[in-house]
A and B are shown apart, each in its own frame.
Chain A
Amino acid sequence: MSGRRVATVWYQVSQNTLTVVGLLLITIVVVFAIFAPWIAPANPVSGDLLNTTQPPSSQHLMGTDQFGRDIFSRVVHGARVDLAVAGIVVSVAFVMSVALGALAGFAGRVADELVMRSMDVVFSFPPLILAIGIAVTIQQGGMLSLVVALTVIAIPPMVRITRAEILHRKESLYVEAARAIGSSPLRVLAVHLVPNSLPPLVVQATLTFGYVILETAGLSFIGVGVKPPAPEWGIMVSEGSPYVRTGEWWISLFPGLMIFVTVLGFNLVGNGLLDVLNPRRRRQ
């Protein structure tokens, strides 16, 4: 997309209050992630064992956990971990989906069947169960197995979208016009089909970003994702859960809120983009 088009999209996005709220939420989390060492008042990993399970106070904004670690510092550093995982997963899945979807939609029946039936296999598992399976099988230490598992389950929906867009646009008049001026099939694909198919993928990628954060937290919660003592939100919720019953609600609540806020932010932005990039609204 060119600068001018980005400017148009930005204008239309800014007209929608919910989308702006979503952007704001994402911005907060991104700022946390980038400036974590400066924002966090304490070390996120080493605790003060004399000050365990303290409720929120002016000294510890979100209280401390059972090891006396400052929860606010851990929440801020957690943004790094969760955004990094989601960022890597979504980028890798995006590139692979475009390649696989273009192959399926453009390279003929055999390639199409091969790619799409493989996607069906992935689709036929409940996504989280499959991710657990993959993560446990790889056992390469938390992060890598988590990233691989989440990438595998993020790819199929995006491949389907890419393929559908390519198949639909392959019949369009501008593709025929491109062939008429002598474009090679590869050029038609790279210059006309793929760029014009990207908008719905950008929407899907944004929404996927939210799901991946949720899944990262979910897998870490049950112990197959990021390993403690890393300040990951899912682990923090998990570690705090026994204490909820005894009244120490803050240990789980604040990381849980962060997951909620981040996922909400990406979903709001995704839906806003969906409206803006919808072809029926494009001419406005």
Chain B
Amino acid sequence: MNSPLLSVTKLFKYFSSRGQRELRGTPEQLRQDGPVRAVDGVTFEVHSHETFGLVGESGCGKSTLGRCILRLLEPTAGSVAFGDEDVTRAAGQRLRELRRRMQIVFQDAGQSLSPMRTVRATLAEPLRIHGLARGEATETRVLQLLDQVGLEPMHRNRYPHQLSGGQQQRVAIARALATEPDFIVLDEPTSALDSSLKLTVVDLLQHVQDSTGVSYLLISHDLTIVRHTCDRVAVMYLGAIVEIAATAHVFDDALHPYTQALIASIPVPDPFTKRERILLPGEPPSPANIPSGCRFQTRCSFVMDRCRHEEPSLLEAKPGHRVACFLYAEAEREAAPT
């Protein structure tokens, strides 16, 4: 495959468990003080025109990861490369140019729109900041953006509270599209919407991708939508990616015990289907207190002695299918000599 659009390498984000100060130092040093390890050494890449899914339960660090990639949060360690630009080191004009090329759509669209600004003002802001349109061209572009997300010209004079939830999300998407980015983080873009609206928003996003070639990082816990839209999927548990593969492989041939439990939890719309449920014992441990060894050992039904002492790394078990689990250790042995 050609070189990736975005590559995230060993990215860490630790939060102090006391107070709000930013943590400085290497992850190994910081681990002594028991920080909240929200993102704990994540590596993956996203290619052009790709929709990359990031799934996992609430609190596993998905959104923190998304924000670190965009530098809305400062990563503790690791690197994010976008094209040939190092996102973690960019500043000033270069950071602004990155902000033009990388965008985000938040879960709660209503909260992400400034309450005292009209839709027009919200959409014109990125155009003005990046010098993309002036004067009458701004108005033309705003109308064009509204059309692109399926809103009417009259909506440009509305305030956020005068719009429905679905319309607010469309405005947020239009704002992200205003700068013609190459990459958009979609942070649970459909979770706040009811199911009929979900599909229209998903369709809109796919339509946008078809016409602009933008890449998405779709952060979601809604597995049906991930299956429906994503090319590849990464499964996150307690701050780390435990499995990463093409969507079909993750859903039909899950390797990691956590992924298997996650997939088995998807509701099937047929009351007569008998299916095997995998119940995970207990609650996920706190990210401030991640078990040593395999982070999933406390809830895994296949736990082995080795899992308690050693942390499995993310290795290729099948072509293009990587998993962090000792059950597939023979793959590790094969991979080791190279």
Contact = CB atoms under 8 A, between A and B. Distances in A.
Contact of B116 (A5, A173, A182): A5
A50 to B, nearest CB: 61
Interface stretch (A71-79, A146-154, A188-196): A188-196
Interface residues of B, number: 29
B159 A5 contact: yes
B111 A173 contact: yes
Contacts of A181: 99, 103, 125-126, 129, 175, 178-179
A122 B178 CA distance: 48
B116 A196 contact: yes
A180 B73 CA distance: 11
Contacts of B175: 177, 181
A84 interface: no
Contacts of B115: 174, 196, 282
Query: Chain A contact residues (Cβ within 8 angstroms of B): what range?
Result: 20 to 34
A118 interface: no
A129 interface: no
Contacts of A195: 116
A199 B51 CA distance: 42
Contacts of A283: 161
A26 B67 CA distance: 50
A196 B126 contact: no
B119 interface: no
Given A181-B129, A183-B125, A282-B161, A174 B99 contact: no
Interface in B90-148: 96, 99-100, 103-104, 106, 108, 111-118, 125-126, 129-130
B72 interface: yes
Nearest to B130: A182
A24 to B, nearest CB: 29
Chain A residues touching B, majority SS: helix
B70 interface: yes
Interface string B151-195: 000000101010000000000100100110000000000000000
A179 B115 CA distance: 16
Nearest to A279: B115
A179 B114 contact: no
Contact of B99 (A2, A182, A187): A182
A273 B103 CA distance: 38
A48 interface: no
Contacts of B114: 174, 178, 191-192, 196
Interface in A1-32: 1-2, 4-5
A178 B106 CA distance: 12
A176 interface: yes
Given A181-B103, A182-B99, A1 B125 contact: no
A181 B96 CA distance: 8
A172 interface: yes
B172 to A, nearest CB: 7
Given A181-B103, A181-B179, A182-B130, A174 B72 contact: no
A179 B106 CA distance: 13
19 contacts: A2-B118, A5-B116, A172-B111, A173-B106, A173-B108, A174-B112, A174-B114, A176-B72, A177-B112, A178-B125, A179-B72, A180-B104, A181-B99, A181-B126, A182-B129, A182-B130, A183-B129, A191-B117, A191-B125
Given A178-B125, A180-B99, A191-B117, 7 more contacts: A174-B114, A177-B172, A179-B72, A181-B99, A182-B96, A182-B99, A182-B129
Closest 3 CB pairs of A and B: A182-B99, A173-B111, A181-B126
